[in-house]
Chains A and B, each alone.
Chain A
Amino acid sequence: KAGVTQTPRYLIKTRGQQVTLSCSPISGHRSVSWYQQTPGQGLQFLFEYFSETQRNKGNFPGRFSGRQFSNSRSEMNVSTLELGDSALYLCASSQDYRGLGYEQYFGPGTRLTVT
Protein backbone atom coordinates (compact mmCIF):
# COMPACT_ATOMS: atom_id res chain seq x y z
CA LYS A 1 0.00 0.00 0.00
CA ALA A 2 1.15 3.50 -0.70
CA GLY A 3 1.88 5.54 2.40
CA VAL A 4 0.39 8.83 3.50
CA THR A 5 1.35 11.67 1.19
CA GLN A 6 1.32 15.39 1.79
CA THR A 7 1.66 18.28 -0.59
CA PRO A 8 3.40 20.57 -0.82
CA ARG A 9 6.46 19.50 1.17
CA TYR A 10 7.74 23.02 1.65
CA LEU A 11 6.00 26.36 1.60
CA ILE A 12 7.04 29.93 2.25
CA LYS A 13 4.32 32.50 2.85
CA THR A 14 4.07 36.06 4.03
CA ARG A 15 2.19 37.24 7.12
CA GLY A 16 -1.46 37.84 6.39
CA GLN A 17 -1.65 35.36 3.53
CA GLN A 18 -3.54 32.11 3.64
CA VAL A 19 -2.36 28.61 2.85
CA THR A 20 -3.92 25.24 2.01
CA LEU A 21 -2.18 21.96 2.74
CA SER A 22 -3.24 18.61 1.35
CA CYS A 23 -3.09 15.08 2.73
CA SER A 24 -3.86 11.79 1.01
CA PRO A 25 -4.34 8.93 3.49
CA ILE A 26 -3.53 5.28 3.05
CA SER A 27 -6.15 3.58 0.95
CA GLY A 28 -8.98 2.33 3.15
CA HIS A 29 -8.21 4.67 6.03
CA ARG A 30 -11.12 6.93 6.83
CA SER A 31 -9.66 8.86 9.74
CA VAL A 32 -7.29 11.74 9.06
CA SER A 33 -5.74 13.84 11.81
CA TRP A 34 -3.62 16.96 11.57
CA TYR A 35 -0.83 17.99 13.91
CA GLN A 36 1.40 21.00 14.26
CA GLN A 37 4.96 20.26 15.28
CA THR A 38 7.31 22.95 16.54
CA PRO A 39 10.61 22.53 18.41
CA GLY A 40 9.94 21.92 22.07
CA GLN A 41 6.17 21.71 21.63
CA GLY A 42 5.81 18.16 20.50
CA LEU A 43 2.82 17.20 18.42
CA GLN A 44 -0.07 19.57 18.89
CA PHE A 45 -3.40 18.15 17.74
CA LEU A 46 -5.31 20.35 15.32
CA PHE A 47 -8.33 18.30 14.28
CA GLU A 48 -9.50 14.92 13.12
CA TYR A 49 -11.84 14.06 10.28
CA PHE A 50 -13.73 10.86 9.77
CA SER A 51 -16.08 10.24 6.85
CA GLU A 52 -16.04 13.92 5.88
CA THR A 53 -17.00 15.05 9.39
CA GLN A 54 -14.83 16.79 11.92
CA ARG A 55 -14.89 14.56 14.99
CA ASN A 56 -12.42 16.32 17.23
CA LYS A 57 -10.75 19.69 17.38
CA GLY A 58 -7.73 20.85 19.32
CA ASN A 59 -7.12 24.21 20.93
CA PHE A 60 -6.24 26.26 17.89
CA PRO A 61 -7.84 29.51 16.76
CA GLY A 62 -10.51 29.59 14.09
CA ARG A 63 -7.92 30.62 11.51
CA PHE A 64 -7.12 26.91 11.30
CA SER A 65 -9.75 24.91 9.48
CA GLY A 66 -9.97 21.73 7.53
CA ARG A 67 -12.16 19.46 5.52
CA GLN A 68 -12.27 15.94 4.20
CA PHE A 69 -13.52 14.75 0.85
CA SER A 70 -15.48 11.64 -0.02
CA ASN A 71 -12.26 9.85 -1.03
CA SER A 72 -10.85 10.57 2.48
CA ARG A 73 -8.33 13.08 1.21
CA SER A 74 -8.10 16.02 3.54
CA GLU A 75 -7.06 19.62 3.38
CA MET A 76 -6.27 22.10 6.07
CA ASN A 77 -6.36 25.84 5.64
CA VAL A 78 -4.71 28.55 7.66
CA SER A 79 -5.91 32.09 7.06
CA THR A 80 -4.26 35.35 8.03
CA LEU A 81 -0.91 33.70 8.63
CA GLU A 82 1.20 34.77 11.61
CA LEU A 83 4.91 34.27 12.22
CA GLY A 84 4.07 31.78 14.95
CA ASP A 85 2.37 29.52 12.43
CA SER A 86 5.77 28.51 11.09
CA ALA A 87 5.96 24.79 11.80
CA LEU A 88 5.93 21.31 10.40
CA TYR A 89 2.36 20.22 9.71
CA LEU A 90 1.85 16.50 9.85
CA CYS A 91 -1.17 14.53 8.89
CA ALA A 92 -1.80 10.99 10.00
CA SER A 93 -4.30 8.43 8.85
CA SER A 94 -5.71 5.39 10.57
CA GLN A 95 -8.45 2.88 10.10
CA ASP A 96 -10.16 4.46 13.08
CA TYR A 97 -8.98 5.14 16.56
CA ARG A 98 -11.89 6.52 18.48
CA GLY A 99 -12.37 4.15 21.33
CA LEU A 100 -10.60 1.33 19.55
CA GLY A 101 -7.03 2.39 19.20
CA TYR A 102 -5.40 1.93 15.84
CA GLU A 103 -1.94 2.89 14.73
CA GLN A 104 -1.64 6.31 13.14
CA TYR A 105 0.48 6.46 10.01
CA PHE A 106 2.14 9.79 9.47
CA GLY A 107 2.86 11.61 6.26
CA PRO A 108 6.21 13.31 5.62
CA GLY A 109 4.82 16.69 6.63
CA THR A 110 4.63 20.12 5.09
CA ARG A 111 7.23 22.60 6.31
CA LEU A 112 5.55 26.01 6.44
CA THR A 113 7.64 29.11 6.90
CA VAL A 114 5.92 32.44 7.45
CA THR A 115 8.00 35.56 6.86
Chain B
Amino acid sequence: GENVEQHPSTLSVQEGDSAVIKCTYSDSASNYFPWYKQELGKRPQLIIDIRSNVGEKKDQRIAVTLNKTAKHFSLHITETQPEDSAVYFCGLSGNQFYFGTGTSLTVIP
Protein backbone atom coordinates (compact mmCIF):
# COMPACT_ATOMS: atom_id res chain seq x y z
CA GLY B 1 0.00 0.00 0.00
CA GLU B 2 0.86 3.66 -0.04
CA ASN B 3 3.42 4.97 2.42
CA VAL B 4 2.60 8.47 3.68
CA GLU B 5 5.10 10.06 6.02
CA GLN B 6 4.17 13.23 7.86
CA HIS B 7 6.63 15.45 9.73
CA PRO B 8 6.96 16.79 12.29
CA SER B 9 4.73 14.88 14.68
CA THR B 10 4.62 17.85 17.06
CA LEU B 11 5.23 21.52 16.39
CA SER B 12 5.20 24.51 18.72
CA VAL B 13 5.36 28.06 17.38
CA GLN B 14 4.93 31.52 18.80
CA GLU B 15 1.81 33.38 17.83
CA GLY B 16 2.43 35.26 14.62
CA ASP B 17 5.12 32.90 13.38
CA SER B 18 4.72 30.51 10.46
CA ALA B 19 4.22 26.75 10.64
CA VAL B 20 5.11 24.22 7.96
CA ILE B 21 4.08 20.57 7.89
CA LYS B 22 5.35 18.20 5.22
CA CYS B 23 4.12 14.91 3.84
CA THR B 24 5.92 12.56 1.49
CA TYR B 25 4.34 9.75 -0.47
CA SER B 26 5.36 6.98 -2.81
CA ASP B 27 2.47 6.34 -5.21
CA SER B 28 2.90 8.48 -8.30
CA ALA B 29 -0.75 7.76 -9.23
CA SER B 30 -1.98 9.87 -6.32
CA ASN B 31 -3.88 12.84 -7.64
CA TYR B 32 -5.66 14.54 -4.76
CA PHE B 33 -3.97 15.95 -1.67
CA PRO B 34 -6.15 17.36 1.12
CA TRP B 35 -5.25 18.69 4.54
CA TYR B 36 -7.54 18.18 7.51
CA LYS B 37 -7.64 19.95 10.85
CA GLN B 38 -8.89 18.17 13.93
CA GLU B 39 -9.51 20.22 17.03
CA LEU B 40 -9.63 18.48 20.37
CA GLY B 41 -12.77 16.40 20.70
CA LYS B 42 -13.99 17.27 17.23
CA ARG B 43 -14.10 15.59 13.87
CA PRO B 44 -11.46 16.20 11.17
CA GLN B 45 -12.44 18.94 8.76
CA LEU B 46 -10.97 19.86 5.41
CA ILE B 47 -9.06 23.13 5.42
CA ILE B 48 -7.43 23.10 2.00
CA ASP B 49 -6.79 20.67 -0.84
CA ILE B 50 -4.82 20.55 -4.05
CA ARG B 51 -4.95 18.41 -7.16
CA SER B 52 -2.01 16.96 -9.03
CA ASN B 53 -2.24 19.43 -11.91
CA VAL B 54 -1.64 22.39 -9.58
CA GLY B 55 1.60 23.31 -7.82
CA GLU B 56 0.31 25.71 -5.19
CA LYS B 57 -2.94 26.86 -3.70
CA LYS B 58 -3.58 29.58 -1.16
CA ASP B 59 -6.52 30.48 1.03
CA GLN B 60 -5.89 33.49 3.26
CA ARG B 61 -3.28 32.40 5.83
CA ILE B 62 -3.14 28.82 4.62
CA ALA B 63 -1.31 27.48 1.58
CA VAL B 64 -0.44 24.08 0.21
CA THR B 65 2.42 23.34 -2.16
CA LEU B 66 2.89 20.17 -4.17
CA ASN B 67 6.09 18.83 -5.69
CA LYS B 68 5.06 15.87 -7.81
CA THR B 69 8.60 15.07 -8.92
CA ALA B 70 9.89 14.79 -5.38
CA LYS B 71 6.54 13.35 -4.18
CA HIS B 72 5.93 15.66 -1.30
CA PHE B 73 3.42 18.31 -0.37
CA SER B 74 3.38 20.80 2.45
CA LEU B 75 0.95 22.85 4.49
CA HIS B 76 1.99 26.41 5.28
CA ILE B 77 0.23 28.48 7.92
CA THR B 78 1.31 32.10 8.23
CA GLU B 79 0.63 34.55 11.05
CA THR B 80 -0.41 31.71 13.33
CA GLN B 81 -3.07 32.29 15.95
CA PRO B 82 -3.95 30.32 19.11
CA GLU B 83 -7.05 28.95 17.37
CA ASP B 84 -4.76 27.25 14.85
CA SER B 85 -3.74 24.84 17.63
CA ALA B 86 -4.98 21.40 16.55
CA VAL B 87 -3.87 18.17 14.96
CA TYR B 88 -3.35 18.39 11.21
CA PHE B 89 -3.53 15.39 8.89
CA CYS B 90 -2.39 15.22 5.33
CA GLY B 91 -4.28 12.93 3.00
CA LEU B 92 -3.94 11.65 -0.50
CA SER B 93 -6.01 9.54 -2.80
CA GLY B 94 -5.51 7.37 -5.79
CA ASN B 95 -7.30 4.06 -5.58
CA GLN B 96 -7.68 4.48 -1.85
CA PHE B 97 -7.63 7.30 0.64
CA TYR B 98 -4.56 7.47 2.91
CA PHE B 99 -3.81 9.74 5.83
CA GLY B 100 -0.57 10.79 7.45
CA THR B 101 -0.01 10.16 11.14
CA GLY B 102 -0.81 13.72 12.13
CA THR B 103 1.00 16.79 13.44
CA SER B 104 0.03 18.30 16.75
CA LEU B 105 0.44 22.06 16.35
CA THR B 106 0.54 24.31 19.40
CA VAL B 107 0.51 28.07 18.96
CA ILE B 108 1.86 29.82 22.03
CA PRO B 109 0.25 33.20 22.74
Bound Cα distance from A3 to B102, whole angstroms: 24
Assess whether A100 is interfacial by the CB under 8 Å rule: yes
Give the number of residues in B that approach A within 8 Å (Cβ atoms). 24
Give Cα A56 to B98, complex, Å.
11
Q: Does B61 contact A (CB under 8 A)?
A: no
Given contacts A100-B32, A101-B51, A106-B45, contact A45 B96 (CB under 8 A): yes
For this complex, into which size category does the number of interface residues on chain A fall?
20 to 34
Q: Main SS of the interface on chain A?
A: loop
B interface majority secondary structure = strand
Chain B neighbourhood of A90, CB < 8 A: 43-44
Question: Taking the complex as formed, is B18 at the interface, i.e. its CB lies under 8 A from any CB of chain A?
Answer: no
A99 CA to B34 CA, complexed, in Å: 14
Q: Does B65 contact A (CB under 8 A)?
A: no
**Bound complex: CA A59 to CA B99 (Å):** 14
Provide the bound-state CA to CA distance between A107 and B43, in Å: 7
Q: Are A48 and B97 in contact (CB under 8 A)?
A: yes
**Interface set of B (CB-CB < 8 Å, partner A):** 1, 6, 31-32, 34, 42-46, 49, 51, 89, 91, 93-102
23 pairs, A vs B, C-beta closer than 8 Å: A35-B99, A41-B101, A42-B101, A42-B102, A43-B44, A45-B96, A48-B97, A90-B43, A97-B32, A97-B97, A98-B93, A99-B31, A99-B93, A99-B95, A101-B32, A101-B34, A101-B93, A103-B49, A104-B34, A104-B46, A106-B44, A106-B45, A109-B43
